[in-house]
Chains A and B, each alone.
Chain A
Amino acid sequence: EPEVTQTPSHQVTQMGQEVILRCVPISNHLYFYWYRQILGQKVEFLVSFYNNEISEKSEIFDDQFSVERPDGSNFTLKIRSTKLEDSAMYFCASTYSRDEQYFGPGTRLTVT
């Protein structure tokens, strides 16, 4: 069964450093999303991406964040200058029809 994959599984970085989180969505999917989950809390929407552009973003997704689909398979989330409060699990999700969103296993980001 096709699945969303994410790398790395765990990223440790120092405050102020740039990080890139990578995702490979399911191959025929058209809509792509990033969500985050701070430990023990609910999953929060960050950004949606369709047709090679951002279609919607939350108030969390400020100028420090960017997304890119550099080729036909990868979908990346970049945080330019990490803060302590960016520590969270980051989930990539994809869907063909906007209904059934399939989530990846997540990247745990730890900012020290």
Chain B
Amino acid sequence: QQQVKQSPQSLIVQKGGISIINCAYENTAFDYFPWYQQFPGKGPALLIAIRPDVSEKKEGRFTISFNKSAKQFSLHIMDSQPGDSATYFCASRRGSQGNLIFGKGTKLSVKP
């Protein structure tokens, strides 16, 4: 009930292509779904987030699609760039105190 399942584990995309990372959650009490980007040796940095009352959110080249009935959400990176190469974590939050439950991460490599 507390898990967040993320796929794929790794992803290679050509420069200019679309990167798509998927997550699925089990607990319907989750109310906030952020994506974090992490570069080697650094802390996770908040990229974009969505609440379950919205089906899509776009910020620049990054879009979250949210499917409440399927309990799934995904990150789309349009026009992927080599600088986007990083590990991406989806997360979910269950109400009150805000602690995040993370997926296992997707290592994205964007080839020039």
Residues of A at the B interface (CB closer than 8 Å) are 4, 31, 33, 35, 41-45, 48, 50, 55-56, 58, 91, 95, 98-106
Q: Which residues of A contact B100 (CB under 8 A)?
A: 35, 43, 45, 101
Contact A42 B42 (CB under 8 A): no
Is B101 positioned at the interface, with any CB of A under 8 Å from its CB? yes
Q: Which residues of A contact B49 (CB under 8 A)?
A: 99-100
Is B25 positioned at the interface, with any CB of A under 8 Å from its CB? no
Contact B46 A102 (CB under 8 A): yes
Bound form: Cα–Cα A69–B105 in Å: 31
Contact B99 A45 (CB under 8 A): yes
Residues of B at the A interface (CB closer than 8 Å) are 32, 34, 36, 42-46, 49, 89, 91, 93, 96-105
Q: Which residues of B contact A55 (CB under 8 A)?
A: 96-97
Additional 10 contacts, C-beta under 8 A, given A98-B98, A99-B32, A101-B34? A4-B43, A43-B100, A50-B97, A55-B96, A56-B99, A95-B98, A101-B98, A102-B46, A103-B36, A105-B43
Closest to A34 in B: B99
A91 touches which one: B32, B44, B46 (CB < 8 A)?
B44
Closest to A33 in B: B99
Contact A42 B98 (CB under 8 A): no
Which residue among B32, B46, B99, B104 has the maximum number of chain A CB atoms within 10 Å of its CB? B99
Closest to A57 in B: B99
Q: Which residues of A contact B91 (CB under 8 A)?
A: 43
Closest to A45 in B: B99
Which residue among A4, A41, A42, A50 has the maximum number of chain B CB atoms within 10 Å of its CB? A42
Contact B101 A45 (CB under 8 A): yes
Q: Which residues of A contact B89 (CB under 8 A)?
A: 42-43
Q: A43-B102, A99-B49 are in contact. Are A106 and B97 (CB under 8 A)?
A: no
